């Protein structure tokens, strides 16, 4: 008999009842060090006092009104995002998937309104992940995500990740945009080198097409800059954001330049919940904390320390690990054994990690993780790896 919850997830036999900072308490009382942060969502750890205060104060005042009316918290968060990024304008969603939906619509509408309605194709890359909606799975294009769900939304051109020559050849007068994650998350923490992002930007400019970045996982301080594109010294035209931006509250956003967003006039898009007072009250505090220069400098310092210690861990377990990759607090441990085995062994030593594709275990700790907790994490991962037999 089917379970009362639709069985689309294979869940670990753990149920957490409380979170505090980098720690999760299981129903049986065990305390786990959380290096997954709810898949890069709890950017400031669990129960951050400033976020709890923002949420509870807003909850006592007003939860929801809909976008039929002014929402001051939404205005404030949009202003903050515009101040700190390339963007001129922001639309709020409840998730990364919805951000993907709007990014696709916005790019197509941009060219439609400029008299080039034939420009509908969006180029995407293997190993990418853009959400689970019909547009999201069509964008990523992998068989794993799309099989059985056809007909798929047309208009996506899939290329091999990192194949620059194929990219140049694939741009035609039907192309409207390129969509890419600066650091692939689900695909196995694969960073696009800065030179590639720069080259991609140049190519988009040369052909007059839009650059859409999916920073749903790598944004909001995760790589040690507020957004990962900053490392390459470029700016996108459209950017998808979610996960960390709500610090645990379901919140996403599409950021865009005025020109890219020019087709999105009143009535062309909407959301009942998107940008509601609760989510935006929390998002404002997340931005205040993460966008502070000292905070990001600390993320960079601590992630260098974590990276260095992980190199030692890999060297100590050459039968289990092959190497470390990633950027900032978005780190992949490439494994020589199934990554699920490493994640499960971590449950035994009370440390939470997240599996990804390409034989990688993801570490996405809260950006607030302390030096002591980093040492503790290495100790727990070391003990977990020690329990694993060589392949």
Ligand X SMILES: *Cc1c(COP(=O)(O)O)cnc(C)c1O
The residues of the shown chain that bind ligand X, judged by CB under 6 A, are 95-97, 100, 129-131, 181, 185-186, 214, 216-217, 242-243
User: Shortest Cβ distance from residue 141 to ligand X (Å)?
Assistant: 14
Q: Is 2 exposed, middle or buried (0-12, 13-18, 19+ CB in 10 A)?
A: exposed
Residues 6+ apart with CB under 8 A from 117: 111
User: Shortest Cβ distance from residue 230 to ligand X (Å)?
Assistant: 17
Nearest to 367 by CA among 15, 64, 35: 35
In whole angstroms, give the CA distance from residue 253 to residue 97.
Answer: 10
User: Shortest Cβ distance from residue 60 to ligand X (Å)?
Assistant: 27
Nearest to 71 by CA among 272, 264, 273, 276: 276
User: Shortest Cβ distance from residue 218 to ligand X (Å)?
Assistant: 7
243 or 309: CB nearest ligand X? 243
100 or 120: CB nearest ligand X? 100
| Stretch (H or E) spanning 316 | helix 293-316
What is the number of the residue whose Cβ is closest to ligand X? 96
243 or 380: CB nearest ligand X? 243
Nearest to 364 by CA among 5, 41, 9: 41
User: Shortest Cβ distance from residue 100 to ligand X (Å)?
Assistant: 6
85 or 317: CB nearest ligand X? 85
User: Shortest Cβ distance from residue 224 to ligand X (Å)?
Assistant: 18
188 or 224: CB nearest ligand X? 188
To 10 degrees, what angle do helices 293-316 and 277-290 make? 80
181 or 237: CB nearest ligand X? 181
Residues 6+ apart with CB under 8 A from 245: 219, 220, 251, 252, 253, 283, 286, 287
């Amino acid at each position: 008999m089917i379970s009362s919850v639709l069985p689309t997830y294979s869940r670990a036999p753990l149920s957490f009842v409380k979170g505090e900072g980098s720690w999760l308490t299981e129903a049986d009382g065990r305390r786990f060090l959380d290096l997954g942060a709810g898949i890069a969502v709890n950017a400031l750890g669990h129960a951050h006092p400033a976020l709890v205060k923002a949420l509870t104060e807003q909850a006592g005042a007003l939860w929801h009104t809909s976008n039929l009316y002014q929402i001051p918290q939404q205005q404030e968060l949009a202003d903050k995002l515009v101040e700190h990024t390339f963007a001129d304008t922001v639309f709020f969603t409840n998730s990364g998937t919805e951000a993907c939906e709007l990014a696709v619509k916005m790019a197509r509408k941009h060219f439609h309104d400029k008299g080039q309605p034939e420009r509908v194709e969006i180029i995407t890359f293997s190993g990418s992940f853009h959400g689970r909606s019909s547009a999201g799975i069509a964008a990523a294009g992998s068989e794993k995500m799309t099989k059985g769900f056809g007909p798929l939304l047309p208009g996506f051109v899939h290329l091999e990740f990192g194949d620059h020559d194929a990219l140049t050849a694939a741009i035609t007068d039907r192309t409207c945009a390129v969509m890419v994650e600066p650091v692939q998350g689900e695909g196995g923490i694969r960073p696009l080198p800065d030179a590639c992002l720069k080259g991609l930007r140049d190519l988009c400019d040369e052909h007059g097409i839009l650059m859409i970045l999916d920073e749903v996982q790598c944004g909001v301080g995760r790589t040690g800059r507020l957004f990962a594109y900053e490392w390459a010294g470029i700016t996108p035209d459209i950017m998808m954001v979610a996960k960390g931006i709500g610090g645990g509250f379901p919140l996403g956003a599409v950021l865009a330049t005025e020109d890219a967003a020019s087709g999105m006039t009143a009535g062309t898009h909407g959301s009942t919940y998107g940008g509601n007072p609760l989510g935006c009250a929390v998002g404002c505090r997340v931005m205040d904390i993460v966008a502070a220069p000292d905070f990001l400098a600390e993320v960079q310092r601590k992630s260098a320390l974590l990276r260095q210690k992980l190199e030692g861990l890999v060297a100590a377990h050459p039968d289990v690990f092959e190497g470390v990759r990633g950027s900032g607090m978005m780190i992949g441990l490439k494994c020589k054994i199934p990554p699920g085995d490493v994640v499960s062994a971590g449950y035994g030593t009370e440390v939470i990690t997240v599996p990804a594709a390409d034989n990688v275990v993801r570490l996405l700790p809260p950006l607030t993780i302390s030096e002591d907790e980093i040492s503790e994490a290495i100790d727990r991962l070391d003990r977990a790896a020690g329990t694993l037999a060589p392949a």
